[in-house]
Amino acid sequence: MIEAFVILVTIVVMGIVLAAVRTGTLREKYAALWIVIAVAVLVLAVFPSLLTVLAVWFGVQVPSNLLFAAAIILLLGVSLQLSLTVSMLESHTRTLAEEVALLHAAVKRLQDMNQ
């Protein structure tokens, strides 16, 4: 039952991500990570024994802890990527704002000259 629920949620999330990429509201470079995560969760939901195998292989005693650790690392990566992106956007808007201010002054000077 729980497997069915996880599979359903994963498919819905994947559908939303893909639809967003199609309509251009989500850039492919940000969607990629979410799709990878969704596929991984889907595989684990279909073959739950895989998690136990992985846990033994990694030397983790409780399989669910492997899942939690992986989730934390992935989310850390995502939020770091977002911080980097926000910083980049900030520097872009800053440059644009500077150009707007310069252009605004230049336009006003031209208008004053023509009057």
Residues 35-94 that bind other proteins (CB under 8 A): 91, 94
CA 67 – CA 7 distance, rounded (Å):
16
CA 111 – CA 107 distance, rounded (Å):
6
> Contact, 9 vs 2, CB < 8 A?
no
Establish if 98 lies at the interface with other proteins (CB under 8 A). yes
Establish if 104 lies at the interface with other proteins (CB under 8 A). yes
> Judged by CB, which is closer to other proteins: 52, or 95?
95
Q: Kindly state the number of chain residues that form the binding site for other proteins, as judged by CB under 8 A.
A: 9
Tokens matching residue 5: 């629920």
Per CB under 8 A, residues contacting other proteins are 91, 94, 97-98, 100-102, 104-105
